[in-house]
């Protein structure tokens, strides 16, 4: 069961069916809600996903499909690379190259990078598989 960052509420629909709603607060203070879970187990799984993202420092947003991977990566890559003091200069250069937008990589004969593969996809369309 989630540790308290996300809350689960049990509700009754007009027809008498039971559904569960997950509620949580974002770092900017906004309240988020995701509802319609038919079982508490499904609601717990979703709440755990929200909490895991918060603990990793990655805010889970069910509306993340509104932006593409390219937009999200551009915003986060520079900050992430600047925070990686443990990487050697060669590894850091490789990460910068892999995260660079496709337009910057076209001179390279092997220009297939992360942006070229995932850049146009909405964030919520990218799956682990």
Are the beta carbons of 36 and 46 closer than 8 angstroms?
Answer: no
**pLDDT tens-place string over residues 55-105:** 766 665 656 567 777 777 777 777 788 888 898 999 988 888 777 776 666
Q: What is the mean pLDDT of residues 20-42?
A: 86
pLDDT exceeds cutoff 90 at 10: yes
Sketch the domain layout of the chain as residue ranges: 7-62, 65-125
Q: CB–CB of 111/105 below 8 Å?
A: yes
Q: Report the pLDDT value the prediction gives residue 71, as an integer from 0 to 100.
A: 77
């Amino acid at each position: 069961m989630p540790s308290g960052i996300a809350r689960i509420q049990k509700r009754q629909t007009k027809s008498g069916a039971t559904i569960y709603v997950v509620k949580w607060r974002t770092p900017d203070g906004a309240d988020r809600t995701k509802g319609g879970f038919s079982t508490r187990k499904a609601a717990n799984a979703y709440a755990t996903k929200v909490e895991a993202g918060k603990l990793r420092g990655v805010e889970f947003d069910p509306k993340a499909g509104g932006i593409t991977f390219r937009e999200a990566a551009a915003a986060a890559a520079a900050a992430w690379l600047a925070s990686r003091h443990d990487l050697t200069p060669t590894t850091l250069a490789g990460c910068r190259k892999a995260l660079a937008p496709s337009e910057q990589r076209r001179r390279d004969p092997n220009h297939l990078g992360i942006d070229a593969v995932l850049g146009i996809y909405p964030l919520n369309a990218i799956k682990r598989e």
